[in-house]
Amino acid sequence: MILPACNSAEDFTFAPESIAACADTIRAGGLIGLPTETVYGLGADADNGTAVAKVFAAKGRPADHPLIVHVAAFDGGLSGVAHFCAQVPPFAQQLMSAFWPGPLTLILPRRAGVGAAAAGGQDSIGLRCPAHPAAQAVLLALRRPPAGQPEVWGVAAPSANRFGRVSPTTAAHVQSELGDELLILDGGPCTLGIESTIIDCTRGAPVLLRPGSITSAQVEAACGRKLLSKDELAAHASTAPRASGTLESHYAPNAKVRLMDAKALQTALDLLGADVGKAGIAVYARSALKTNSRQLVLRRMPAQADAAAHELFAVLRELDDLGVKLIWVEIPPDTMEWVGVRDRLQRASA
């Protein structure tokens, strides 16, 4: 069931009964579809092992893949961090004060006895303080329960899609992934559209586990430290934490995705000529391409990286729904702003 977060299309104040229904469901050990500024999450009480197990089951996700835990922002996320984390290095504190609430997840040493199921058995925990006001309304309600009800410190929420599929950026996407029984809070289309930047803060230096809208340069400027890549880390240590968002093949639509530069795309279109439409191919490109096929599904990718990120998963879903067999995508520029979009497209094509 989809519940609107706001009172009406004209009235952007929160519908208190929607927020309360979501908080009640989480408190009772249930699951909700939670809007965030990146993608929709499938949320459960991070300290409730039974509830977290339902998240893994609903997604079809292996139980040893840790989930991101979302915390309330009223105090900059600090009390949530204190609840879940054993200790926070100074560079991680700087990153929190620079980017929270926002699309940044920090992997931190976990305090023994808390969030164990959400952490998938690891001794670290991924924490994020989301910027979406509706997510924050639910998180705050959980920290301020009605008399006699327990306080919930964090909501474990992976992206609300079945394992390995494209992440949802609207309430309707969540419903089509996970069904109508799930309570889904509709906070509108996600503004950013790709998942948070993940930085491992348990290794003495910041390590980038997953690129997102916040760039490496922004991270380095905020904490005054060089951000290591996973490859640089691998040179130092042999045990890397699991991160399913970092599996080679992930974010995959049903159609096969192929990445090409504009020249290769144009050559392929020229070769197929008028038959390209019949071949079940869709094209998603920034460049203006020429085709003499009227049936070809040709979607223009925005020239700005943030606009492309915003629509990326929705476009992949749309093209999938048209039933095309192949999606040819123009590879994004090799610049810092495009790293997050490139990463998701490379995984979708793996």
By CB under 5 A, name the binding residues for Mg ion: 159
CA 334, chain centre distance (Å): 22
CB 42 → ligand TXA: shortest distance, Å? 8
> Nearer Cβ to ligand TXA, position 18 or 169?
169
> Hunting for tokens 């997953």 — which residue is that?
210
Distance CA 215, CA 340 (A): 8
Query: Judged by CB under 6 A, does residue 169 bind ligand TXA?
Result: no
Q: What separation, in Å, do the N-terminal and C-terminal C-alpha atoms of the chain show?
A: 34
Query: Judged by CB under 6 A, does residue 159 bind ligand TXA?
Result: yes
CB 43 → ligand TXA: shortest distance, Å? 8
Which of Mg ion, ligand TXA, none binds 66 (CB below 5-8 Å, type-dependent)? ligand TXA
> Nearer Cβ to ligand TXA, position 116 or 298?
116
- Cα distances from 341 to residues 33, 142, 333, in angstroms, run 24, 33, 10
* Residue 270 half-sphere exposure toward CB, CA atoms < 13 A: 7
Contact 172, 186 (CB under 8 A): no
Stretch that binds ligand TXA, among 75-83, 174-182, 237-245, 285-293 (CB under 6 A): 237-245
Stretch that binds ligand TXA, among 88-96, 116-124, 259-267, 272-280 (CB under 6 A): 116-124
> Hunting for tokens 């340069």 — which residue is that?
217
Distance CA 70, CA 26 (A): 13
Query: Judged by CB under 6 A, does residue 168 bind ligand TXA?
Result: no
- Cα distances from 349 to residues 319, 323, 332, in angstroms, run 14, 17, 13
Contact 300, 285 (CB under 8 A): yes
Query: Judged by CB under 6 A, does residue 331 bind ligand TXA?
Result: no
Site size toward ligand TXA, by CB under 6 A: 29
Q: Binders of ligand TXA among 305-324, rule CB under 6 A?
A: none
Pick the binder of ligand TXA from 111, 230, 242, 286 (CB under 6 A).
242
Q: What's the token pair of residue 196?
A: 């948070």
Number of other residues whose CB lies within 10 A of the CB of residue 49 = 14
> Nearer Cβ to ligand TXA, position 71 or 285?
71
CB 118 → ligand TXA: shortest distance, Å? 8
The binding site for ligand TXA (CB under 6 A) comprises: 36, 38-39, 41, 65-68, 105, 107, 119, 122, 124-126, 128, 130, 157-159, 195-196, 198, 241-246
